[in-house]
Structure 1
Amino acid sequence: MLALSECDWFDEVLVVNDEDETSLFAQEVAGIRPLKKSEVYLGKKGPEVDFSVRQRAALIANEADNNHLSHDYVEKVEPNDMLEYKNAGVQEGVFKRLRQGKYGIEARLDLHRRTVAQAREQVYQFAEDCVRNDIRVAIIVHGKGDRTPDPDSQAMIKSYINKWLRDLDNVMAFHSAQRHHGGLGAVYVLFKKSEKARLENWEKHQKR
C-alpha cells in the first residue's frame, strides 16, 4: 500500500469532501425550479398606503379643532327671508354684482340633508379650502327648510348659515342667490383674497 504524505492526504480529503457536499447539495435541490422575476419580492409587501389621504385627514382634524363656529342658540330667519351681508371694505359695485349673480361661481357646497353639526364642520372646511385655493366666489346651497313639519325647526340650517358666514374672517360678503342658482335656498359668498393672490396682484400692478 502506497503511503501518502501528510500534504497528499489533506488534498485527498478535501477532494472527497467537495464531491460529497456537491452530491448532497444536488440531492437537496432536486426538483426545485428557479423563481420567475415576477415571483421575486423582498420582504413582506403589505397593502399600498395612500399617504395623501392620511395627510388630508390630519389637516381636517386640525382645522376642526380650530373651528370657532357656534352651534348654540341662533337667531332664527324665516324660509323666505333674504340673506345679505357686506363687510365695510367691499365696494357697492362689487356687492351689487355679487347679489345679481354676475360673478362666475368657482365652488359649490350643498348642505341638503345635513345636520347642524355636519353643516358646521363642512362650512368651516369649505371656507378654508376656498381661501387656500384662491377661490373668490362660491355658492352654498342650504335649502329653505320650509318642508319641516315642526315650525321651530324650519330654516334651521339657513339660520346658522346667516350667522356662521358673518363669523368667518375670510368672508367679505354674501347674498341670497338668483332664482336660477337656487333662490332663497342658496347664498353667494365672496371670499377674501389669499395672501398669495394679494402678493401676485401687487406684483402685477408694480410691473405696469
Structure 2
Amino acid sequence: MSDDDDLFSQEMAGVQPLASDKRVVYLRNSATGNKPETGDAAEKRDNPLTTGFLNILPCDEPLEYKHDGVQQGVLDKLRQGKYPLEASLNLLRKPVEQCRQELFAFFCQAQAENLRTLLIIHGRGRNDQSHANIVRSYVAKWLKQLDDVQAFSVAIQKDGGAGACYVALKKTAQAKQENWERHAKRSR
C-alpha cells in the first residue's frame, strides 16, 4: 500500500483545495439581458451599512419591518412565504464585516437584476449574545438603512424559520414602466 500512497502523493503534489465560499446566491436569468453589477461596480457605490451602535434583538423577538406606506397585506403575504423567492444569500458563520460587505453587494446585484423577493439566511443563536444573534440584529439594522427595502419578515420553517428572513424590494423604474405597459394594453 505504500506504493499507492507514494503514487497518490506525487499526483496530488500541485493540487490546491477549493475555496470554501459557502455563500449561496440563486439568481434568475435576466430576460432583458442586463448584466449584474460586478464586485468592482458594487464597491464604487458607497456602502451605507454601518457597524456602529447596535441594539441587540432578543432571540424570541421575530424580525419584522414595514416601510411607511406599505400595506399590511404585503407584510402578511411576505411573512407567510407567498411571494416567490428570486435569490438567497447565506451569511452563516461569517464575521460581521464580511456579512456587511456581502449583503450590500448582494443588494446591488439584486437591484441590477430587478429582483423583488430575497431570502437572507443569517442564523439564530441560542442566547442574545451569540454570534448568530449579533449578525441577525445587524441584518435587521442594515435592511432598514437600505432605501429600496419595502419590508422584511422572518421566514417560514421550510426556508429557515427564525434563522432567515424574507426581504421585499421596491420595484425599479424600469419594472414599473413594464408593468404599466402590460396593464395598459389589457385595458384597451
Report the TM-score, using the length of structure 1 for normalisation. 0.67
Secondary structure, counterpart of 1:109 in structure 2: strand
User: Per-residue displacement from partner, 1:129-184 (whole Å, max 9, x unpaired)?
Assistant: 1122111111000000337xx93646110010110001100100000011111111
Cross-structure match for 2:10? none
Cα distance between partner residues in 1 of 2:132 and 2:92: 13
User: Per-residue displacement from partner, 1:40-74 (whole Å, max 9, x unpaired)?
Assistant: xxxxxxxxxxxxxxx824213213xx101111121
Paired residue total: 150
Higher RCO, Cα 8 Å, sep 6+: 2
Letter in 2 for 1:193: K
Letter in 1 for 2:136: K
Equivalent residue in structure 2 for 1:173, among 128, 135, 151: 151
Cross-structure match for 1:145? 125
Which deviates more from structure 2 when the two are superposed, residues 135-144 or residues 151-160? 151-160
Cross-structure match for 2:40? 58
Report the TM-score, using the length of structure 2 for normalisation. 0.74
Moved over 6 A (4+): none
Cross-structure match for 2:55? 75
Cross-structure match for 1:163? 141
Cα distance between partner residues in 1 of 2:125 and 2:130: 11
Cα distance between partner residues in 2 of 1:78 and 1:135: 30
Q: 5+ residue gaps in structure 2?
A: 1-36
CA RMSD of aligned residues (A): 1.8
Pair member with larger Rg: 1
